[in-house]
């Protein structure tokens, strides 16, 4: 297969498996999505979805959140990990949204990245899922699969994002990044990987990856 044929195979296969791909983090608006994505750093979506209802029952907008103390926020979000840093970020960005953006989350990636505890990936997720602006946030699943599929060299997430944006049509970015995340979780995990179920890697996978799998190395 040519690289373009591999790209089309990925697009077609993912569209067949996930015709209606869900957003994994529960939210109701850009603000609650921003908070949920921030909380998901080094945690799981399942854990975040267990905690956000408790947090949003107390504060689901910047004005209510800013009335809580960092300690109160930290106590609620403690189960997701990194709670001191995340609580400080949530409180700080809520104050900034009030003071600078009239309580609204800006639909601008540069403005989002200037908010406390909001990195490029978090900002990209919000742009994609809250504002439908074509973005390609790269998490560990996408980084791993782009390498396994020989569509990126796997050196870092910055390069993986550039490669993904270069290879895949812009109008598909928002849907594809979610489809790849779900596929990575269900069919091509880092551990407990069964190549027989992973039709994409089995068909177009990097030779080195397939060889290492044959040697029973389950983490690439």
Q: Mind telling me the catalytic residues?
A: 121, 139
Residues 6 or more apart whose CB falls under 8 angstroms from that of 188 comprise 141, 144, 145, 148, 198, 200, 201
Count CB atoms within 10 A of the CB of residue 199. 16
Q: Does residue 95 contact residue 65 with C-beta atoms inside 8 Å?
A: no
How far CA 19 is from CA of 16, 159, 181, 184, 203, in Å, comes to 6, 28, 14, 16, 21
Q: How far apart are the first and last CA of the chain?
A: 23
- How far is Cα 129 from Cα 51, in angstroms, rounded to an integer? 20
């Amino acid at each position: 297969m040519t690289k373009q044929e591999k790209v089309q195979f990925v697009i077609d296969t993912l569209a067949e498996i996930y015709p209606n791909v869900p957003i994994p983090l529960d939210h109701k608006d850009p603000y609650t999505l921003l908070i949920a994505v921030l909380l998901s750093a080094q945690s799981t979506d399942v854990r975040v979805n267990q905690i956000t209802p408790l947090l949003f029952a107390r504060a689901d907008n910047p004005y209510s959140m800013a009335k809580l103390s960092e300690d109160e926020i930290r106590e609620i979000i403690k189960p997701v990990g990194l709670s001191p840093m995340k609580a400080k970020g949530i409180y700080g960005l809520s104050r900034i949204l009030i003071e600078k953006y009239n309580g609204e989350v800006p639909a601008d990636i540069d403005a989002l990245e200037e908010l406390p505890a909001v990195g490029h990936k978090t900002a990209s997720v919000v742009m994609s899922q809250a504002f439908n602006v074509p973005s390609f946030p790269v998490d560990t699943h996408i980084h791993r699969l782009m390498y396994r599929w020989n569509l990126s060299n796997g050196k870092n997430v910055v390069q993986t994002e550039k490669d993904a944006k270069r290879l895949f049509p812009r109008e598909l970015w928002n849907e594809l990044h979610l489809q790849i995340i779900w596929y990575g979780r269900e069919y091509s995990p880092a551990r407990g990987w069964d190549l027989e179920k992973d039709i994409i890697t089995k068909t177009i996978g990097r030779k080195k990856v397939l060889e290492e799998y044959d040697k029973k190395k389950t983490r690439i």
